[in-house]
Amino acid sequence: MTLQAIGVDVSKVHLDVHSLPDGRYAQFENDMNGFRKFLQWAREQPLRMVIFEPTGGLSSRIWACPSPGKIPLGEG
């Protein structure tokens, strides 16, 4: 099984999500409901790490989201 790395581009409205090496793409709303949907989607992946782009402090809301469980998060 190949572990996925997920990159998230954070904008005011959306989370644009890409996983490698499989190339999957998804988009979620940048709000609590969108975070929950994103975390559910991420838990379905054979996950190595999720990296958020910290542009303009928009990713700070992600850190306020209820515990993501065993999903490794980072900013890069």
The CATH code of the domain that includes 20 is 3.30.420
Q: Pick the residue with more confidence: 66 or 29?
A: 29
Q: How many domains does the chain have?
A: 1
Q: Pick the residue with more confidence: 53 or 7?
A: 7
Q: What is the amino acid identity at position 23?
A: G
Q: What is the pLDDT of residues 19-48, one digit of tens each?
A: 988 899 999 998 889 988 988 888 887 877
| Cβ-contact 14, 30 below 8 angstroms | yes
For the chain, the distance separating the N- and C-terminal CA atoms, rounded to the nearest angstrom, is 25
- The domain in which residue 40 lies consists of 4-75
Query: What is the rounded average pLDDT of the residues 44-61?
Result: 74
- pLDDT-based confidence at 18, cuts 50/70/90? very high
